Structure formats: structure tokens, C-alpha cells
């Protein structure tokens, strides 16, 4: 064989070797990542049922100190949380030492301080479990049980970006009124034999109070994030205008995602993929009201998108508002880990997992069966949407590998 032919042959063999090696390494990396996703899913299922009990073993720290130490830029709580039941027990039982009107917002809430100095946000029950909220997908009062369900869905999806939430019954007469500020106390009233309050917020009205059953009010409490992690508010790029006849740009511009990708913080880092994770989360719970979102301050786009204020969810199980998925079907990208987790939750696993996760909550049953059934149906729609994207652009473009090491020191 001539020297020139040998050189060409060697060059061809070298190219084949390099491509084979790269292909095998990529496949091995992908296979290893998929196996870790499967193991993480099994660990999640094993720890799904959280019994609320007061014991904190092998530590002298308070539940509030433990929960504060969990928070890092990409997680509110870690995957392994043996103390979760004790923290949630404290949230649902610790003595209330102060009650005030809620922080700024459009919906009724109260800011409580529990024994030990921990702030929590209390959202009162406004609807029975089987009540259907008609009208726009963002219509109606906040649903306290939606906050509880959304927190547990966050656990199931493996996002761990929602603050802790648990149901709680409070006695307005003996637990709240004696420690209420004058501003909150001035909104209390009696309707029939029931103690009520209307608080202070944009839509709070004396004519529309939240009423207890006698003195006992059901609600949810959300753990306040530590003050050392101040929040920064952002306008959601796929937010609605909330004005009849006026569309947001994303509602008519098919190339809108391309424009978003050119603007900070969506032009680099994890934020755009967080937006898409959040769209999936919101579509499952029926939340079409995420007009803004929060991250940690001074994060340069590296902080997670924190899943706060999920109470405009689980309003109508028959309404699947597809526009919530716009970030997914317009950008046609999704994290591989999210895609794997969604596939593991098929065939009724999601409904069963959420029902199990919520079973020990003080206000259980948290959701009616129609809402649980709707979750499984919406999951199929998400999977079909991703398939449409992969059919059009290919899985290598749509499925994005974006895993981050999350350390809890």
C-alpha cells in the first residue's frame, strides 16, 4: 500500500476512533445521569410520607434553625430531610405570639410570628374542597389547600424550590385576637355565630371576610424564608396583561422565545430552564397567575426561581389552561432531569404520590379526587407537548442537560 493511501486510511481510522470514543462517553454519561435520576426518584417515593411529630433527634437546634440552614441558592430544602416532619409539626402547633396583617399583595393573608420568633404566612380557608371556581383561570380567592398541595408537588417533581407549607387549624378568639395588632384586630367581626376577619390587601373588603367555623379557622401556614436571603422580584416574561382585549407579546409573537433568550438573565445560566420548569409546575396545578416571580438578590441569574404564592391553583379540575405551557412549547427546551421525572410519574403514579404525600397533613384530605385526576391528565398533555418538540427539532436540541451540584454546609 502506498504511503499516501496509508496516511488516508490512518486518518479515517483516527476519525472513527474519536467519534466512537465521544459517542460512548456521551452515552455512558447520559446513562449514568439517567440511573441517578431513577435512584433519586426512588428515594423521593421512599420518603414521601411525612409524619408530623415533635421529636428532633441528634441535635440541639430548633426546628427554625434547621430549616434556615437548608436554604441555598438552588434549593429551599435538601433532598434528604429527616427533620421535615418535626419542622412541619412546629409550624402547625407552635404557639402564636403575634398576628398582623399580611405583607403587600392582592389577597387576604395574615403574618404570624410563632414561638421562637419564626414568621409564617397564614392563608384562610375560603372554599369547600369540592367548590369549582368558574371564569378566568386566575379567578377567585386564594385557595389555602392549593398552597399545601403545591408544596408537596414541588417535592415530588424534585425541584425543591417552594417554601414549606402545612395546614393548620387556629382558634381566632383565643389564639389570634389576644396577640393581634390593632390594624388586624380592627378587621375582625362576627357573622352569625362565626368569627371572621377581612385583613388588609388590595382586594380585601369588609363585605367579603373569611369566616371560621365558630371560632376555629382552617388555613395554611407558609414558612418565611430566612432574612439572610433577601428576595428580588422580577416581571415574568410570559406574564398576562390582565386587560380585556390587550394581548401580551408572547400571545401573538411566535418568535417571542428568541427575543427572551437575548435578554438577561435568560441569555445565560439556569433561569430560562427554571421558567420552563415553573410552567410545567403551574400547568399541573392550574396556576395561570404567575405574573411576577422571586429569586434571591444579587444572584446574577444563578439563583433558583422560587415557587412562592401558589394559592391561585386547583380552582377548576375541568379547565386545562394550555397557555400556561407557553414557555415550554415556544422555546421547546426542557431539562433532562425534569423530563425523566415526568416520565417516571406516568400511569397514575403522580396522583398516587401526591395523595400519599398529603395524607398526614392536619387538613387532610387536601384535594378532592377530581383535582387529583386532573393532574394525571395534565401530565399526559405535557409529555405530548415535549414529544411534538422532539419530533420537530430532535431530542438533542430539546432535552438539555443542566445539573448543578447543590451543597448544604
Binding residues: 107, 123, 142, 222-225, 294, 309
Spatial distance between the Cα atoms of 88 and 92, rounded to a whole number of angstroms:
6
Specify binding-site residues for Mn(2+): 142, 309
CA geometry: angle 128, 133, 138, nearest 5 deg: 125
Q: How far apart are CA 385 and CA 269, in angstroms?
A: 24
Identified catalytic residue from 289, 320, 369, 376: 289
Asked whether the beta carbons of 127 and 367 are under 8 A apart, the reply is no
Select from 229, 303, 245, 298 the least CA-distant residue to 271: 303
Active site residue 80: no
Tally helices (H) and strands (E) across the chain.
12, 12
Look at residue 259 and give its three-state secondary structure: helix
Residues making up the annotated binding site for ATP are: 107, 123, 222-225, 294, 309
Contact yes or no for 350/312 (Cβ under 8 A): no
Is 172 in contact with 197 (CB distance < 8 Å)? Answer: yes
Query: What's the first-to-final CA gap in the chain, in angstroms?
Result: 64
Q: Which residue, among 128, 134, 129, 150, has the nearest Cα to 316 in the 3D structure? A: 134
122: nearest Cα among 144, 93, 104, 90: 144
Backbone angles phi, psi at 368, to 5 degrees: -80, 160
- Annotated catalytic residues are 289
Amino acid at each position: 500500500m502506498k504511503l499516501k493511501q496509508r496516511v488516508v486510511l490512518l486518518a479515517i481510522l483516527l476519525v472513527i476512533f474519536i467519534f466512537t470514543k465521544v459517542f460512548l462517553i456521551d452515552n455512558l454519561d447520559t446513562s449514568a445521569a439517567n440511573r441517578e435520576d431513577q435512584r433519586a426518584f426512588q428515594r423521593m417515593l421512599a420518603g414521601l410520607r411525612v409524619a408530623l411529630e415533635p421529636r428532633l433527634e441528634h441535635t440541639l437546634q430548633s426546628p427554625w434553625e434547621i430549616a434556615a440552614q437548608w436554604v441555598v441558592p438552588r434549593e429551599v430544602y435538601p433532598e434528604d430531610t429527616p427533620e421535615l416532619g418535626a419542622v412541619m409539626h412546629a409550624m402547625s402547633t407552635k404557639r402564636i405570639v403575634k398576628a398582623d396583617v399580611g405583607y403587600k399583595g392582592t389577597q387576604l393573608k395574615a403574618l404570624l410570628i410563632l414561638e421562637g420568633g419564626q414568621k409564617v404566612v397564614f392563608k384562610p380557608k375560603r372554599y369547600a374542597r369540592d367548590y369549582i371556581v368558574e371564569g378566568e383561570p386566575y379567578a377567585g380567592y386564594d385557595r389555602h389547600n392549593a398552597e399545601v398541595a403545591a408544596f408537596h408537588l414541588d417535592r415530588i417533581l424534585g425541584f425543591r424550590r417552594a417554601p414549606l407549607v402545612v395546614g393548620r387549624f387556629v382558634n381566632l378568639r383565643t389564639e389570634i385576637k389576644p396577640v393581634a395588632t390593632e390594624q388586624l384586630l380592627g378587621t375582625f367581626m362576627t357573622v352569625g355565630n362565626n368569627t371572621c376577619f377581612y385583613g388588609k390587601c388590595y382586594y380585601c373588603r369588609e363585605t367579603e371576610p373569611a369566616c371560621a367555623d365558630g371560632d376555629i379557622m382552617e388555613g395554611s401556614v407558609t414558612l418565611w424564608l430566612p432574612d439572610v436571603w433577601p428576595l428580588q422580584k422580577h416581571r415574568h416574561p410570559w406574564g398576562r396583561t390582565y386587560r380585556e382585549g390587550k394581548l401580551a407579546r408572547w400571545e401573538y409573537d411566535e418568535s417571542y422565545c428568541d427575543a427572551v433568550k437575548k435578554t438577561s438573565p435568560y441569555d445565560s445560566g439556569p433561569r430560562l430552564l427554571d421558567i420552563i420548569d415553573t410552567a410545567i409546575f403551574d400547568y399541573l396545578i392550574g396556576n395561570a397567575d404567575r405574573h411576577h416571580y422571586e429569586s434571591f438578590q444579587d444572584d446574577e441569574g444563578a439563583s433558583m426561581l422560587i415557587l412562592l404564592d401558589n394559592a391561585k391553583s386547583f380552582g377548576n379540575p375541568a379547565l386545562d389552561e394550555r397557555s400556561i405551557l407557553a414557555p415550554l412549547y415556544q422555546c421547546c427546551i426542557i431539562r433532562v432531569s425534569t423530563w425523566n421525572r415526568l416520565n417516571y410519574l406516568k400511569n397514575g403514579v403522580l396522583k398516587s404520590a401526591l395523595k400519599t404525600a398529603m395524607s398526614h397533613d392536619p387538613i387532610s384530605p387536601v384535594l378532592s379526587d377530581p383535582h387529583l385526576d386532573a393532574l394525571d391528565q395534565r401530565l399526559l398533555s405535557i409529555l405530548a407537548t415535549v414529544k411534538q418538540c422532539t419530533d420537530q427539532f430532535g431530542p438533542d436540541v430539546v432535552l438539555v442537560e443542566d445539573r448543578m451540584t447543590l451543597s448544604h454546609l
